[in-house]
Structure 1
Amino acid sequence: MSFLQGGGAMGERIRAFDWASHPLGPPGDWPAALKLVVNLCLSSSFPTAIYWGQDLHVLYNDAWSVIPADRHPAALGQPARELWSDIWHVVGPHFERVLATGEGVAQYEEMLPMVRHGVARETWWNYSLTAVHLPDHTIGGLFNQGNEITETVLARRLRQKEVERWRDLFRQAPAAVALLRGPDHVFEVANEAYLRLVGRPDVVGQAVRQALPEVVEQGFIELLDRVYRTGEPYVGASIKVTLQAPGAPKPQEHILDFVYQPVRDLEGAVDGIFVLVTDVTARSHAEAALRISNWQLGEERARLASIVEAEQRAQQALRRFNDTLEKHVASRTAQLTRTLETQGVMADRLRATFETSLIYQAFLDPQGKLLEANLASLQGIQARLNDVVGLPFWETPWFASTDGLQERVRAGVEAAASGRSVVQEIELDLPIGRRRFDFSLRPVLNAKGAVVGIVPQAVDITERRPTGPPSRTGEAP
């Protein structure tokens, strides 16, 4: 039985299986077509299974053994209908179609409500079914290959929700803001201020080269490529940009201050660029006009040099005029500088909120449902974000093992939802041990003063002093 050689753990299981008492019979009596596909299955590193005979008994390789989860290794030799009783209403028609027509089936991103460890779970798959023909042209069984893409599908959903949340925030920003994704710099978000600046009704879904072709020759694509390639941000000050809005009679020249800030994925690789633009055209024109004015005043002083008394009066007037202009320019420059610094601080705070490893931090909706949690907090409960997203905050694993704490946290969330900040010391029984934290719940308000979210923060202070009964300091009523 050389066709059963190799195949790792599943090769050994198939060779040791009691086929003599099985409907398929001893391997030596198997049809040549079955021997061929079984040998191909055991030699493949891709998840592969064979369904054979009238009842479609299953044989499979090591790579496929993770698919039935806790049903492995008992799945070997089982009829397909029994093995996949939980999803047969979905996959059964595909099996029957291939058996009836001989035409293969390929399914992409198909949801299968598969039972794993006693619980029905939403799983997603790419797989194919191919008929295996016998010499008499009848179909002896099916050749199956596929792989699970559940994490990919769920990650895409989570990212889309994240994009929608940030899109709402960006849309309300007074400055021109855009988010570009991928090496082609495709617009994923562009707020109304940005669209007004570039003179386009919409650019989302288009690459910068396609949406703003006039900037290609001005060198901005090269700048974006460099930021994406190196991960180093770029800050432009008083940069001249010519924009040609569709339908406009002629191009418009703008003077812009802008920032290209790289955005990184969970693995730390750059996968996008955040763009923040401030139009300083009016300021630049005012500065140019001031320079011309100063030059003209100098000429006037030289022309009036021969008349001392008149020159003195003119100089006094000019000094007063210059002082006024300089104060105005200084005031305006200071105001713009403060604005830019504030925007920078806001951007730093946003990044720190989701990137810091020093504190436990999360984001809740106004009802207390968990939407975000940083890596440090997830490591504290030895969980992934998918395990806790959508749960009421007080029912998450951070508090589930600590007696009496869930109601306190729930009361704190209700207080924060009403607009009040909550600060207290708490002790938690976590998988990493009993820890003491400075814990706070801070409401996030929009421009109208309405609570649009809640930010929980916890700083580990276990090492500062011995643990004891939980403090009630700052506890919500």
Structure 2
Amino acid sequence: MAQLMRGRDWASTPLGPAQSWPTSLKVALRLLLTSRFEMWLGWGPDIHFFYNDAYRPTLGIKHPQALGMPTQALWPEIWDDIKGRLETVYRNGEATWDRALLLLLERNGYPEETYHTFSYSPLTGDTGEVEGVFCAVTEETTRVIAERRLRSLRSLGATLTTADSRLKVLQAVEERLAENPFDLPFTLIYLFRDDGSAVLAASSGIPPGHPLAPVELRLQNDVWDLTRIWRGEESFPLDVSERSDLPAGA
């Protein structure tokens, strides 16, 4: 990142040539660039964005164009989530703190469920006034999602230990899966009859009778491809991305 910053024509940006930057900004940037911890800082009223190598995975395809961009232009998809926090820093000179905050970032070309623990701290300029914000951040997406899924499995397992009939098993599965709409926005469980037709036995996220949740299905139908399962395939993906009437999860 240091090399990228040196190669940037800062004189053509609102920040002006790097030689004219205030000492306070230069000191903060030195700390930022030499740290191996995820960090970024914003400077000026438009909160022009600087970051280090450790922060690059968070940016995804927004790197390297992100360097020097106004923060609102860089992160329009989460601006409503972070605007108030940044105003607290700039207006009041107070730091903020969030643990595992959900932010739907579009860093890979699509909205992505991500979680971050971070603090926004004020950066004062050479005059003593707040002129920027410093952020140390840890992305916790993997941990949060893994723990959530593990809780679902534990809850399901605990409930099934007391289910002593097929009806109770289906009820338990339906109830436990409905508790995690982030990972399982909708589920359908069909039971086959001897002739290959199927009956809806449990569902979550969408009600029985929904266009994609018919109470009964023939082996050949226009809703779900039952023939592959009937032939013995254990699992295969189905594309429902064009359906606008389905819950989408996180």
TM-score interval for Structure 1 and Structure 2 normalised by the shorter chain: 0.5 to 0.7
1:23 maps onto 2:14 in alignment: yes
Mapped to 1, the partners of 2:136 and 2:117 lie a distance apart of 9
Closer, same or farther: CA 154–140 of 1 in aligned 2, 3 Å? same
Runs (4 or more) in structure 1 with deviation over 3 Å come to none
* 1:224 matched residue in structure 2: none
What percentage of aligned pairs have identical amino acids? 30
- Picking from 135, 138, 143, the partner of 2:134 is 143
Maintained 8 Å contact 2:22/2:126: no
Maintained 8 Å contact 2:38/2:136: yes
Mapped to 1, the partners of 2:190 and 2:107 lie a distance apart of 31
| Alpha-carbon offset, residue 55 of structure 1 | 0.8
1:170 maps onto 2:161 in alignment: yes
* 1:101 matched residue in structure 2: 92
| Alpha-carbon offset, residue 75 of structure 1 | 0.3
Q: How does 1:217-256 map to 2 (within 5 A)?
A: none
Letter of the 2:138 partner, please give it: N
Which structure exhibits the higher relative contact order, with contacts defined as CA atoms closer than 8 Å and separated by 6 or more residues?
Answer: 2
Mapped to 2, the partners of 1:156 and 1:89 lie a distance apart of 27
Gaps spanning 5+ residues in structure 2: where?
A: 165-186, 192-204, 206-220, 237-250
**What are the Cα deviations for residues 326-382 of structure 1, in whole angstroms up to 9, with x where unaligned?**
xxxxxxxxxxxxxxxxxxxxxxxxxxxxxxxxxxxxxx86249xxxxxxxxxxxxxx
TM-score (norm 2): 0.68
Q: How many pairs does the alignment contain?
A: 188
Q: Specify the SS of the correspondent of 1:74.
A: coil
Bigger radius of gyration:
1
1:32 maps onto 2:23 in alignment: yes
- Picking from 32, 47, 53, the partner of 2:38 is 47
- Picking from 71, 74, 82, the partner of 1:80 is 71
* 2:189 matched residue in structure 1: 366
Mapped to 1, the partners of 2:18 and 2:162 lie a distance apart of 66
Maintained 8 Å contact 2:41/2:132: yes
Maintained 8 Å contact 2:101/2:117: yes
The structure with more strand, counted as a fraction of residues? 1
* 1:410 matched residue in structure 2: 225
Maintained 8 Å contact 2:123/2:132: yes
Mapped to 1, the partners of 2:26 and 2:107 lie a distance apart of 31
| Alpha-carbon offset, residue 412 of structure 1 | 4.3
**What are the Cα deviations for residues 132-178 of structure 1, in whole angstroms up to 9, with x where unaligned?**
112432012011111211121111121111112111111247xxxxx
**What are the Cα deviations for residues 258-313 of structure 1, in whole angstroms up to 9, with x where unaligned?**
xxxxxxxxxxxxxxxxxxxxxxxxxxxxxxxxxxxxxxxxxxxxxxxxxxxxxxxx
| Alpha-carbon offset, residue 457 of structure 1 | 7.8
* 2:199 matched residue in structure 1: none
Gaps spanning 5+ residues in structure 1: where?
A: 1-9, 174-363, 369-389, 391-405, 417-421, 425-438, 441-455, 459-477
- Picking from 101, 119, 125, the partner of 1:110 is 101
1:12 maps onto 2:10 in alignment: no
Closer, same or farther: CA 122–457 of 1 in aligned 2, 3 Å? closer
Letter of the 1:101 partner, please give it: N
TM-score (norm 1): 0.37
Maintained 8 Å contact 2:23/2:126: no
Mapped to 2, the partners of 1:118 and 1:171 lie a distance apart of 45
Letter of the 1:43 partner, please give it: T
Q: Specify the SS of the correspondent of 1:67.
A: helix
| Alpha-carbon offset, residue 33 of structure 1 | 0.5
* 1:160 matched residue in structure 2: 151
Mapped to 2, the partners of 1:457 and 1:51 lie a distance apart of 47
Letter of the 2:145 partner, please give it: L
Q: How does 1:49-448 map to 2 (within 5 A)?
A: 49-172=40-163, 366-367=189-190, 410-412=225-227, 422=230, 424=231, 439=232
Closer, same or farther: CA 412–61 of 1 in aligned 2, 3 Å? same
Closer, same or farther: CA 89–32 of 1 in aligned 2, 3 Å? same
Letter of the 1:411 partner, please give it: L
Maintained 8 Å contact 2:124/2:131: yes
The structure with more helix, counted as a fraction of residues? 1
* 2:214 matched residue in structure 1: none
Q: Specify the SS of the correspondent of 1:119.
A: coil
